[in-house]
Amino acid sequence: MAAAGLKQVHLAAQLPGVHNVTAWSDPRSESQIAIESFVRLAQTAERGKFDFFFLAEGLRLREHKGLFYDLDIVGRPENLTVLSALAAVTERLGLAATVNATFNEPYEVARRLATLDLLSAGRAAWNVVTSFDSFTGENFRRGGFLAEADRYTRAAEFLATARELWDSWQPDSVPADAATGEFVRPGAGRFAHRGAHFDISGTFTTPRGPQGHPVVIQSGESDQGREFAAAEADVIFSKYNRLDQARAFYADVKGRLARHGRSPEQLKVLPTASVVVADTDAEAAAYAEEITRTLVGPQTAIAHLEAVWGCDLSGYDPDGPLPDIAPRPDSLLLKGHSVFRTGREETVRRWRERAEQGGLSIRELMIEVNGGQTFVGSPRTVADAIDRFVQSEGADGFVLVPHLTPDGLDDVVDRVVPLLQEKGVFRAEYTGSTLRDHLGLDPVGLPYAATEAS
């Protein structure tokens, strides 16, 4: 039962992907691309009554000094195909995918998402992302066709167009009336869109699912991205899992909603986070240090340094001091990675200052700046910390990213979730069937299936 006056914690799970590294060398780690791994983690999340299961995606394999950056995830199957398979082996868990709005088309994406929403009985979500670089565009023969300043205008029109396509099927579009012989109403699916980026018309083939529209997620950190989320999204991801920074982000994003005619409850703020659980706080701290040093190994530390310096630093000792040479901001050694592409001279300045103050080696600095584990401790310590973070308005919940694939969330589900339930801040059972139900969001219009059943 929900505790009076307390915010409810929302939890989601992510199989590590873009922007993540995993402890792949750990003997307990299994495949990051086999369907069995996706199934096991998704079913664990559903056993824990999580809101949704999320898959990130990149449209080109990253390259480091002209070679595949295989310290990241490579060979990942396409998101919506995987989630369609998971719809058959889960019942209530939301299914969320990153789908790019720069190198796709509204009709195709809207149709695939509507299909997933129908197959899953209302559990689909779309993380709307944009691409900034011609490196990714080469896979689509478009190169740098879209100026970076235009990527959110295209994304906004892309989303608006997808919604027009979903709305082209009305609540009564499928009467399936045996007496009259009418299965589909005349005009169902008809659409016409004229805009700066898209000029399309025709017939949309797929009726709306039980949510009306799939849940929309935004992960932009820029001012433009935050405003887009405030205007259009149901969920915004956040990189801030330090409480002071998180509260500032939370207040900023929530404060933008009113000018778009929306209330704070209509947008959920979910930072990504990691969790390390052990019997005692001391045991968890020791395990967390071991994990972090595994995740930020010598190769990873030097590669991240090269991405910022823009030059080959393979001759430097990862356990030694930072390079005493100037960075080359015009050189890009790690392609396809948005984190290290801008503000690199300022990043070098801050890193030098931090390393000097703490007497840190290259690897020690990379461990610090890449962040350790977010929540570390006994089950009670972790449950209290998650709850405190949410009640303090640092977030509405978290997207948990395990360091092991696919069993890295077992301790959270088995040992932490029961304590959150005991506090009255997390559901004991699902109370609805759709992802909008789990997130406390209203459906968008009435789905045709609900009309048939009424």
What secondary structure does DSSP assign to 6-57, as a single string? PPPPEEEEE-S-TT----TTSTT---SSSHHHHHHHHHHHHHTT-SEEEE--
Q: What's the pLDDT band for 71 if we cut at 50, 70, 90?
A: low
% the chain with pLDDT above 90: 62
Which pLDDT score, from 0 to 100, does residue 447 have?
46
Question: pTM, whole model, 2 decimals?
Answer: 0.92
pLDDT (average), residues 127-144: 82
pLDDT of residue 200: 96
Residues 79-86: contacts with CB under 8 Å, at least 24 apart: 79/55, 80/112, 80/113, 80/116, 82/35, 82/38, 82/55, 83/53, 83/55, 83/116, 83/120, 83/124, 84/115, 84/116, 84/119, 85/35, 85/38, 85/39, 86/38, 86/39, 86/42, 86/53
Is 56 within 8 Å of 422 (Cβ atoms)? no
Question: DSSP class of residue 182?
Answer: B
pLDDT given for residue 452 in this prediction = 37
424 pLDDT exceeds 50? yes
**And the tokens for 351?**
């890193």
- For 297, the token pair is 């190994």
> What does DSSP say about strands 268-273 and 275-277: parallel, antiparallel, or unpaired?
unpaired
pLDDT band at 335 (very low <50, low <70, confident <90, very high): confident
62 has pLDDT over 50: yes
Distances (CA, A) of 110 to 170, 213, 250, 358: 16, 10, 29, 50
CA–CA dist 116, 113 (Å, integer): 5
pLDDT on residue 451: 36
Is the confidence at residue 454, as pLDDT, over 60? Answer: no
Closest CA to 9 of 247, 312, 271: 271
Residue 66 — very low, low, confident or very high, per pLDDT cuts 50/70/90? confident
Nearest to 376 by CA among 269, 246, 279, 271: 279
In the numeric block, which tokens belong to residue 365?
């600095």
Give, as one character, the DSSP assignment of residue 377. Answer: E
Mean pLDDT, the chain, integer: 89
- Whole-angstrom distance, CA of residue 391 vs CA of residue 266: 17
Give me the mean pLDDT over the 128-141 stretch: 83
Q: What is the pLDDT of residue 13?
A: 97
Helices 106-119, 151-167: axis angle to 10 degrees equals 50
- Between 62-66, 110-114, 393-397, the lowest mean confidence (pLDDT) is in 62-66
What's the DSSP call for residue 215?
Answer: E
Report, as an integer, the average pLDDT of 292-317.
90
Q: What residues pair up with 397 in beta bridges, in sequence order?
A: 10
Q: What one-character DSSP code corresponds to residue 416?
A: I
pLDDT tens digits along 356-388: 999 999 999 998 887 678 999 999 999 999 999
Integer CA distances (angstroms), 262 to 159, 259, 269, 343, in order:
18, 7, 14, 34
pLDDT band for 250, please (50, 70, 90 cuts).
very high
Confidence check: pLDDT of 395 > 60: yes
The pLDDT value recorded for residue 19 is 57
Kindly list the structural domains of the chain, giving each domain's residue range(s) and its CATH number in brackets, ordered by start: 10-280+376-453 (3.20.20.30), 297-369 (no CATH)
What are the pLDDT digits (tens) for 265-277?
Answer: 999 999 999 999 9
The region of weakest confidence among 25-29, 115-119, 335-339, 397-401 is 335-339
